[in-house]
Structure 1
């Protein structure tokens, strides 16, 4: 066994005493904090937009934009004159691009946090009602933790 002395030099010690100062820590699968619970599920929240409750707001820092599906836009009864044209092409998981229809800046309230999100409107079936991506997280100093 080797140790470092007071002068910072490596010294060889008699190994007969090694068992006295060595401890072994072993972890088993049953010691995992989450056990077998899935811990990689999407991070969904609820909040308010235009004074309407919006469930299934997906928080995901891996997305370069924030997205609002057209069906959610219609449910919120947003007047078309509040939308701005968008030329953004959004690349999907399947490597097929989809052009954003429009873009809108919208105030959001989640718990006691009031923020604004620049949302790109898409006409697609999604598992979320709104997606807040990296720009929104960064602007609001949000660090998602699961």
Structure 2
């Protein structure tokens, strides 16, 4: 299972059983801008079919009018109304969609424990902005102290329900569960207050407090089975090897599974 690397450790358990349909009307002002394309999860190890290769032209990032002049007197609060449409109980992360260069990018993790923003190199490639990456190496450490060196940095205009801010992302080559990760630099810049319990985040603007609802169903899709690993049957059962629990009939990546995140080591007691 691929993991994202950050300067600060984080660990999120997936939502195990999510089936939800949200019907919310936050007003015309809070409606997201219509994207020109939609970028779903890029799965590591799977080749995305490509069409004919055309002459490459430089793609410039569309600059839009910034809307960061505020401070309203509204108080950012969460209530039972925010949690009514959330499947309970849950321990899921807060995952949202954002607009990057007029492309809707799904499966973006809100991580209050990360000191940087991260984006996959494959996502930047899909955006057509590889030539915008500034080479800069930086070592990122995960929660288990495994490290990865970044490919470079890129400045992207992050558009969340028509509120735009230029943000620096660190580009990584390795696969991770999410297309991008928004850490404290973006959260603090936007004055965002996220709630994983309510699966919602709120931030102030000049005119009002804007609300972004999490995509709770996305966690379920991310942990779908993509490959079945053949099991080698030995004469002697090894009780010291952690086991991965895989639903044998769940071959389709869009189907749901129940996946054990905490691997238990079974100790075989030998007679003295």
> What is the TM-score when the length of structure 2 is the normalising length?
0.39
Q: Which is helix-richer, 1 or 2?
A: 1
How far residue 41 of structure 1 moved from its aligned partner, in angstroms, is: 0.5
Q: Distance in 2 between matches of 1:140 and 1:85?
A: 26
Residue 69 of structure 1: aligned partner: 120
Which of 81, 84, 87 pairs up with 2:137? Answer: 87
How far residue 40 of structure 1 moved from its aligned partner, in angstroms, is: 2.3
Q: Please say if residues 115 and 184 of structure 2, whose CA atoms lie closer than 8 Å, have aligned partners that are also in contact.
A: yes
Residue 92 of structure 2: aligned partner: 41
Range that drifts further, 48-57 or 86-95: 86-95
Which of 40, 50, 54 pairs up with 2:105? Answer: 54
Q: Distance in 2 between matches of 1:69 and 1:38?
A: 31
How far residue 133 of structure 1 moved from its aligned partner, in angstroms, is: 0.4
Q: Distance in 1 between matches of 2:157 and 2:172?
A: 18
How far residue 129 of structure 1 moved from its aligned partner, in angstroms, is: 0.9
| CA RMSD across the alignment | 1.8
Task: Name the SS for the 1:136 alignment partner.
Answer: helix
After superposition, give the CA deviation of every residue in 1:61-107 in whole Å (9 maximum; x if it has no partner). 11111000111111111041x21122211111221111111100100
Q: Distance in 2 between matches of 1:45 and 1:38?
A: 19
Q: Distance in 2 between matches of 1:112 and 1:78?
A: 21
Residue 123 of structure 1: aligned partner: 173
How far residue 39 of structure 1 moved from its aligned partner, in angstroms, is: 3.3
Instruction: For structure 2, list consecutive stretches of 5 or more residues without a partner in the other structure.
Output: 1-82, 199-272
After superposition, give the CA deviation of every residue in 1:1-31 in whole Å (9 maximum; x if it has no partner). xxxxxxxxxxxxxxxxxxxxxxxxxxxxxxx
Runs of 4 or more consecutive aligned structure 1 residues displaced over 4 Å after TM superposition: none
Q: Distance in 2 between matches of 1:134 and 1:40?
A: 21
Q: Distance in 2 between matches of 1:53 and 1:112?
A: 12
Instruction: For structure 1, list consecutive stretches of 5 or more residues without a partner in the other structure.
Output: 1-32
> What is the TM-score when the length of structure 1 is the normalising length?
0.71
Task: Name the SS for the 1:144 alignment partner.
Answer: strand
Specify the structure having the higher radius of gyration (Cα).
1
Residue 100 of structure 1: aligned partner: 150
Q: Which is strand-richer, 1 or 2?
A: 1
How far residue 112 of structure 1 moved from its aligned partner, in angstroms, is: 2.5
